[in-house]
Amino acid sequence: MTTVSPDSLIEQGLAALKVRDTKQAVALLREASSVATAERMPWAALANAELALGNLAAGEAALDRQLQLFPRDVGALLAKGNLRQRAGDDRAAVSFYSTALAQAAVSGIPRGLEGVAAGAQNFIAEAQGAFQRHLDAVMDGGLTPAMEEALGLLRGTREIDLQRPSLFYYPGLPQQRFYDPAEFGWMQGVLDLLPEMQAELAAVTGREAHDTFAPYVTASQNRPAPNNPLLGDPAWGAFYFWKDGAPVAANAARCPATMAALAQAPMPKIPGRAPNALWSRLRPGTHIAPHSGMLNTRLICHVPIHTAPDCMLRVGSEIRRWEPGVPLIFDDSMEHEARNAGPETRTVLLFEIWRPEVPDEDRAAIARLLQGIAGYDGTAA
C-alpha cells in the first residue's frame, strides 16, 4: 500500500486549485489536513476552495485555522468578515473588517482584494449608522451632559481629550473641556457690566485715528520668534488691561467698567506672569491654529463683547460658538483652535482664572513656582 505524503497532497491540491478543479482541490487538501501539521497546511487555499463550492462552514473553519497561525492575515480577515456579514452577525463582521483595514493601512491590501476592502469600508459605515440609530432608540434622550458625552465616545462621534500643557501639569484635575458659567457666582456681576463694556469697546475702536489693538502673537527680545502664521498679524488683535501681572494703565483708565468687571474674577496674581486680561479680536477670515496652553491650573474665560456669525471655538472634540451674553469658560491646556469664517469682527473679553479644584495652598505654591521660573536668569549658583 502506497502512502501519499502530506507535502505531495498539498502540492497536488494547489495544482488542482490553480487549474480551477475545485472539487479535486478540496478532496486533496482535506486529506492533507488530516495528516499534515497545522503549520504546514495552506489553510487559506483550503478555505478558498471550500467557499468556492459553497461549503461555508468548512470554509470558515479553515479560515479560523489560518487566523490562529496568522492573526493579521488581511485576506483571511476580510474573508472572515464577509462570512460573518452573510451570517447576519454584523458586530463580528465589523470587528474582522476593521482589523483587516487597520492592518492593510500598515502592510497594504493584497493584490486583487481592493474591491473587497472597499466593500468592507462601506459595510462598516452602514453598520455604525445602524448601531447609532439603535443606541438612540434605546437611550431615548433625557440624558445628562456626562452621559451624552459618554454615549458620543461609544458611538465614535467624540474623543477622549486630555490636558497637555506645554509648561506645567498639575495632576488629578478633571479632564473637562468647558465649564458651566452658572458654577461661578461672580460671573453675573461681570455680565451686569456688559452694556458698559460694549460702550467702551465702541469708544476705543470708533473714535481713534489709528487702530489701538496690537497683534496678539509677537516676538520677544532674546527669544526665537514663535512658529505661528499669525506672528505680528493684527488679524488676531489684543487690547490689554492686564499683561504679565501688571495693569496696562492707559487702557485701564479708558475702560473703568471693564476693569471693574475683571476685579470680580478670581484671576491669579503672580508678579511677572499673571494675570493677563484683554480684548481679543478676531477679524474675518482669521484662523487660530490648534495649540495648547502652558498650564492646566487655570481656565480661560471669554465674555462676548461683540459677537459675529460663523465663528467657532473648538476645545478638544467639542465646538462652541460665541453668543450674546453667554460666557465661554474652558481649559486651554487641551488642544483648541478658533476661526472666524464670517464677514464681521468678533471681540471677547479674555481673562484667566484659577481652576476651582486647585486648593488655596497649592495656588500659593504654584504662584511661587511660576514667579521663580519667570525670575530665573541662569546666573544663580
pLDDT (tens digit per residue) in 133-181:
888 888 877 888 888 888 888 877 788 899 999 999 999 999 999 999 9
**Beta partners for 282?**
236, 346
Helix, strand or coil for residue 183? helix
> Residue 231: exposed, middle, or buried by beta-carbon count in 10 A (0-12, 13-18, 19+)?
middle
pLDDT at 185: 96
- Name the residue with cell 481713534: 208
> Residue 183: exposed, middle, or buried by beta-carbon count in 10 A (0-12, 13-18, 19+)?
exposed
- Which candidate, 314, 313, 308, 303, places its Cα nearest to that of 342? 308
Taking the whole predicted model, whether its pTM rises above 0.85 is answered as no
Pairing state between β 287-291 and 277-282: unpaired
- Looking at every residue in the chain, the average pLDDT score rounds to 92
In this prediction, the residues of the chain whose per-residue pLDDT falls under 50 are 1-2, 209, 380-381
pLDDT at 128: 85
Instruction: Please state whether the peptide bond connecting residue 171 to the residue before it is cis, i.e. omega within 30 degrees of 0.
Output: no
Helices (H), the chain: 6-18, 22-35, 43-52, 56-69, 74-86, 90-107, 114-139, 145-155, 187-192, 194-206, 249-254, 256-262, 360-375
Cα separation, 290 vs 353, in Å, equals 21
Cα separation, 77 vs 60, in Å, equals 11
Cα separation, 97 vs 70, in Å, equals 15
Cα separation, 103 vs 142, in Å, equals 39
pLDDT at 1: 39
Grid cell at residue 367: 504662584
Grid cell at residue 30: 482535506
pLDDT at 137: 86
Pairing state between β 328-330 and 298-306: antiparallel
pLDDT (tens digit per residue) in 72-119:
999 999 999 999 999 999 999 999 999 999 999 999 999 999 999 999
Helix, strand or coil for residue 150? helix
- Which candidate, 301, 302, 333, 335, places its Cα nearest to that of 316? 335
